[in-house]
């Protein structure tokens, strides 16, 4: 039951502990024959390194952290997050690192968690999501000197490198799709203006959609998505197409439109920013922007591990751009009715 240590291996193989350490870590200093004898002994004993001991001398935790500041209510509904975490996880475990997860109230609590993790040496670095405007986190991370990567960057302050998607370009593509169908009065149901990527999208929308464009901000929840939709549909002239910043709100918007007596896509076209099973469950199915959250998470994790391993001057420098999301056209977008509005 007692877990074997290198001392056990050393005794079994008849060598010193130092030799065992060299052998197990593939460093020079032991002959090939001895190395094999040691590896065989380690294998026979089922030895695994004690992470605490290794961390202590190596001054590396072998783990990275992800603290998420979103209400659990919102988090749970968005498939995006689990996919993201799954991708992060896959990359990390392949490279022998563990993932520490923390769900907290807000970005200040998150920064506090980062400080604690760092002080306790629990993690070698952290991943950031949901950058806010005036976000305290990048500054805190720079201050304590902890490696960090922003998933969904770039960080305008430049304190933290990011793996990012060009939301502006994606938004332009969505607007072009709608324009191409003949829509002229577009609306955007966005996330909180305090979220950086939300603000980016809103700007890009305003720039691409032209003068008739309307906008409503929400907290990403289905409830506010419905309220925003009702508000937009009361406008005269009424928008003929709405772009939602996530899948959940798009579904809520669909219900709201139906309750207002409008048909989709006859009276109103709908686009969701994030694709998921949800978008295929509705009737009509939703046109959506699809990105590979799994690979996105993996890319961010890979970037972070490089940073941890090689320091800021490592393999990649600055921000890394991730592929554009793909617009998957389904039933919820169609040309507007000639008499619409």
Partner DNA sequence: GCGGGTTTATGAACCGGTTCAGCGACTTCC
Partner DNA sequence: GGAAGTCGCTGAACCGGTTCATAAACCCGC
- Measured distance CA(239)–CA(203) in Å, rounded: 18
> What is the pattern of x (binds a copy of itself, CB under 8 A) and - over residues 128-167?
----------------xx----------------------
From 207, 281, 315, 317, residue interacting with a copy of itself (rule: CB under 8 A): 281
Secondary structure of 239-256 as H, E, C letters: CCEEEECCHHHHHHHHHH
> Which of 1, 33, 72, 277 is in the footprint of DNA by CB under 7 A?
33
Report the alpha-carbon distance of residue 215 to residue 165 in Å, rounded: 22
Q: Which does 338 bind (CB under 5 to 8 A by kind): a copy of itself, DNA, none?
A: none
What separation, in Å, do the N-terminal and C-terminal C-alpha atoms of the chain show?
74
Among 40, 44, 54, 169, which residue sits at the site for DNA (rule: CB under 7 A)? 54
Which ranges in the chain belong to alpha helices (H)?
6-13, 17-24, 32-45, 51-58, 72-77, 79-94, 107-119, 137-144, 167-181, 196-209, 222-233, 247-259, 277-281, 293-310
294 is a contact residue toward a copy of itself (CB under 8 A): yes
User: Applying CB under 8 A, which of residues 24, 39, 98, 168 lies at the interface with a copy of itself?
Assistant: 98
Residue 93 interacting with a copy of itself (CB under 8 A): yes
Contact 171, 205 (CB under 8 A): yes
Token look-up 């509705």 returns: 282
> 38: closest CA among 50, 53, 51, 27?
27
Residue 11 CB, shortest distance to DNA, in Å, is: 11
Binder among 24, 104, 109, 328 for DNA (CB under 7 A): 24
Instruction: Give the length of the chain.
Output: 341
Residue 21 or 276 having the CB closest to a copy of itself: 276
At residue 161, φ and ψ (nearest 5 deg) are -70, 150
Shortest reach from residue 252's CB to a copy of itself, in Å:
5
Note the residues at the interface with a copy of itself (CB under 8 A): 1, 3, 46-53, 55-56, 61, 63, 72-73, 75-77, 79-83, 85-86, 89-90, 93, 98-103, 116, 118-122, 144-145, 221-222, 248, 251-252, 255, 258-259, 276-278, 280-283, 294
Note the residues at the interface with DNA (CB under 7 A): 3-7, 14-19, 21-22, 24-25, 27-35, 47, 49-50, 53-54, 56-59
């Amino acid at each position: 039951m007692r877990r074997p240590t290198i001392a056990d291996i050393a005794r079994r193989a008849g060598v010193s502990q130092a030799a065992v350490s060299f052998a197990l870590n593939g460093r020079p200093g032991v002959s090939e024959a001895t190395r094999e004898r040691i590896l065989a002994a380690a294998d026979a004993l089922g030895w695994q390194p004690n992470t605490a001991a290794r961390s202590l001398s190596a001054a590396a935790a072998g783990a990275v952290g992800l603290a998420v500041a979103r209400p659990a209510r919102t988090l749970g509904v968005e498939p995006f997050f689990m996919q993201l975490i799954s991708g992060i996880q896959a990359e990390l475990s392949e490279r022998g690192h563990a993932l520490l997860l923390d769900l907290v109230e807000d970005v200040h609590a998150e920064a506090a968690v980062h400080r604690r993790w760092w002080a306790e040496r629990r993690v070698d670095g952290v991943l950031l999501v949901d950058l806010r405007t005036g976000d305290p986190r990048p500054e805190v991370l720079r201050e304590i000197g902890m490696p960090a990567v922003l998933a969904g960057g770039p960080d305008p302050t430049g304190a933290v490198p990011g793996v990012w998607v060009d939301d502006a370009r994606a938004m332009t593509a969505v607007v072009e799709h709608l324009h191409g169908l003949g829509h002229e009065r577009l609306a955007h149901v966005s996330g909180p203006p305090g979220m950086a990527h939300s603000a980016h999208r809103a700007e890009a929308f305003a720039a691409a959609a032209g003068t008739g464009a309307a906008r409503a901000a929400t907290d990403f929840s289905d409830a506010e998505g419905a309220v925003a939709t009702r508000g937009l549909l009361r406008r005269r002239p009424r928008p003929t197409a709405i772009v939602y910043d996530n899948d959940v709100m798009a579904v809520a918007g669909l219900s709201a439109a139906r309750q207002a007596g409008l048909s989709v896509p006859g009276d109103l076209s709908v686009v969701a920013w994030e694709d998921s099973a949800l978008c295929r469950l509705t009737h009509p199915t939703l046109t959506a922007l699809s990105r590979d959250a799994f690979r996105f998470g993996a890319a961010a994790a890979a970037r972070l591990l490089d940073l941890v391993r090689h320091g800021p001057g490592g393999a990649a420098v600055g921000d890394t751009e991730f592929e554009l999301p793909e617009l998957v056209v389904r039933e919820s977008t169609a040309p507007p009715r000639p008499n619409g509005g």
